[in-house]
Amino acid sequence: MPKVRFGKFSFELPKSRPARVGLGVGLVLGGGLFGFLPVLGYWMVPVGLVVLATDSPPIRRFNRRTAVKVVGWWRGRRAKAKPKSGATVNSVPPSSGER
């Protein structure tokens, strides 16, 4: 039976392929059309793509490439935000003429 994992949670998908494809397409279209609503939101699009990826290799590759790009972008952003170790911020060395 196919399963989808999100972190430490796993969900079982329907056994039949047409039901999984229908569920995935419904989530993608529903999230795209009704994304502005509070409960039916844009969160449905990536969940639908993950469900579709169980049966479709092109969508699986798309999901993997997107995940790699997002993680790389996130790590680069966090690395730029951290100050370098050993460096002090706004420190001015004392000049030799002051006493």
Q: Which residue has the higher pLDDT, 39 or 12?
A: 12
Instruction: List Cα–Cα distances, 92 to 12, 83, 88, 99, in angstroms.
Output: 60, 17, 9, 15
State the pLDDT at residue 84. 63
pTM over 0.85: no
35 band by pLDDT with thresholds 50, 70 and 90 = confident
Q: Which residue has the higher pLDDT, 17 or 89?
A: 17
Contact 48, 27 (CB under 8 A): yes
Residue ranges per structural domain of the chain: 18-63
Contact 31, 42 (CB under 8 A): yes
d(CA 26, CA 99): 75
Secondary structure class of 12 (helix, strand, coil): strand
State the pLDDT at residue 75. 93
pLDDT tens-digit profile of 51-96? 999 888 999 999 899 989 999 999 999 888 876 665 555 556 666 6
State the pLDDT at residue 80. 84
Contact 57, 64 (CB under 8 A): no
- In our burial notation (b when 16+ CB lie closer than 10 A, e otherwise), range 46-62 reads ebbbbbbbbebeebeee
State the pLDDT at residue 11. 87
State the pLDDT at residue 98. 57
Distance from the Cα of residue 73 to its chain's centroid:
11
